[in-house]
């Protein structure tokens, strides 16, 4: 059976090239996904065999609040922003025009270490100081539970990233841990909206100061947004003028007020379902 992920010796550029140019062999359909999500095998001479996720634009379900056919572009745009931040928290993602079902995004498949979830639902007696509590709830059978996430610098990066990209769908299942321990985020189609729409399970740091090293990366991102390179110019072309302006405003707001925000209270703060 082929490896699901590229070899550790492959560079991001080599992986991106393979995602962009190599033939996609469809192996399955992720039936639980809201939009058409296909798992594919790539066999590349330089990188080797690995799995990827292919989301064709034609398989996107229309939404009332996002332009039809724009979600795949937003997935690639999210990776570009992550690249400029230098955090490597979004798997390598590219846009390709010639997928089996037409244009769409391709992203490296990530095998999740399910034994070490970064976001979880636990009993109150299982809680310890390594977990941040997001909310307390009661199940249908009357059991008390806590929605929690780990208190780590890697997960803080993902929380800041979601503020920058205005992610309205950060479910617990969209946070994966590679077997080497690194955390990554997936499913970034519902991002970059012009209106504030952050819905996330990562509210545990609300009201706390954002660490200085993360803010250094945010400042560098702002400098890049002022003079976009080729990839950022592509992102700017994919977003509306209002969405690009809102992106720069969110980044500047974080620079001016480097604090993890509280939920606004004007709309749901959690995605549904959260996990």
CA distances from 270 to 64, 72, 140, 156 (A): 19, 22, 19, 17
Q: Is residue 247 part of a domain?
A: no
Q: Is residue 81 part of a domain?
A: yes
Q: Is residue 182 part of a domain?
A: no
Instruction: Give the pLDDT confidence score for residue 4 in this predicted structure.
Output: 53
Instruction: Give the pLDDT confidence score for residue 9 in this predicted structure.
Output: 59
> Quick one: tokens of 166?
């205005």
Q: Is residue 222 part of a domain?
A: no
Q: Is residue 104 part of a domain?
A: yes
How many helices (H) and strands (E) in the chain? 6, 10
- Total number of domains in the chain: 1
Instruction: Give the pLDDT confidence score for residue 3 in this predicted structure.
Output: 39
Q: Is residue 55 part of a domain?
A: yes
Q: Which residue has the tokens 């977990």?
A: 131
Q: Which residue has the tokens 């993902």?
A: 158
Instruction: Report phi then psi at 166, rounded to 5.
Output: 60, 50
Q: In sequence order, which residues have a C-beta less than 8 Å from that of residue 26 and are 6 or more positions away?
A: 38, 39, 40, 54, 100
Q: In sequence order, which residues have a C-beta less than 8 Å from that of residue 159 and are 6 or more positions away?
A: 200, 202, 205, 260
Instruction: Give the pLDDT confidence score for residue 2 in this predicted structure.
Output: 36
Q: Is residue 184 part of a domain?
A: no
The alpha-carbon radius of gyration of the chain (Å, integer) is 19
Give the structural domain span for 102. 12-108
Instruction: Give the pLDDT confidence score for residue 1 in this predicted structure.
Output: 27
The series of mean pLDDT values per 10 residues for the chain, 275 residues long, is: 52 90 90 85 90 93 88 96 96 94 95 92 93 92 93 97 97 94 95 95 97 98 94 94 97 98 85 85
To the nearest 10 degrees (0 to 180), the angle between helices 71-85 and 153-165 is 130
H helices present in 142-240, as ranges: 153-165, 212-226, 230-238
CA distances from 175 to 159, 222, 254 (A): 11, 25, 23
> Quick one: tokens of 110?
């990530």
Q: Is residue 221 part of a domain?
A: no
Find, among 158, 194, 184, 157, the residue nearest to 74 by Cα.
194
Instruction: Give the pLDDT confidence score for residue 261 in this predicted structure.
Output: 95
CA distance 229 to 40: 31
CA distance 70 to 19: 20
CA distance 29 to 41: 12
Burial 160-190 (b: 16+ CB within 10 A, else e): bbbbbbbbbbbbbbbbbbeeeeebbbbbbbb
Contact 3, 10 (CB under 8 A): no
Q: What DSSP element (H or E) covers 15?
A: helix 12-21
Counting Cα atoms < 13 Å in the Cβ hemisphere of 25 gives 8
């Amino acid at each position: 059976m082929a490896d699901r992920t590229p070899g550790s010796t492959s560079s991001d550029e080599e992986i991106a090239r393979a995602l962009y140019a190599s033939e996609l062999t469809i192996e399955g359909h992720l039936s639980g996904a809201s939009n058409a999500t296909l798992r594919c095998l790539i066999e590349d001479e330089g990188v080797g065999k690995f799995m990827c996720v292919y989301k064709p634009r034609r398989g996107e379900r229309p939404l009332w609040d996002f332009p039809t056919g724009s979600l795949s572009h937003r997935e690639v745009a999210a990776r570009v922003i992550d690249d400029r931040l230098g955090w490597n928290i979004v798997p390598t993602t590219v846009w390709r025009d010639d997928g089996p079902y037409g244009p769409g995004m391709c992203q490296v498949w990530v095998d999740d270490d399910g034994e070490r979830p970064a976001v979880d639902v636990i009993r109150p007696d299982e809680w310890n100081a390594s977990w941040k509590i997001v909310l307390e709830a009661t199940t249908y059978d009357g059991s008390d539970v806590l929605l929690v996430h780990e208190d780590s610098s890697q997960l803080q990066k993902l929380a800041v990233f979601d503020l920058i990209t205005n992610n309205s769908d950060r479910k617990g299942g969209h946070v994966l841990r590679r077997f080497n321990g690194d955390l990554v985020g997936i499913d970034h189609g519902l991002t970059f909206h012009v209106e504030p729409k952050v819905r996330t399970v990562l509210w545990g740091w609300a009201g706390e100061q954002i660490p200085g090293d993360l803010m250094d990366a945010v400042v560098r991102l702002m400098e890049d947004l002022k003079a976009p390179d080729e990839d950022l110019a592509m992102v700017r072309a994919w977003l509306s003028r209002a969405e690009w302006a809102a992106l720069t405003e969110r980044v500047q707001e974080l620079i001016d007020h480097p604090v993890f925000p509280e939920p606004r209270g004007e709309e749901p703060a959690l995605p549904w379902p959260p996990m």
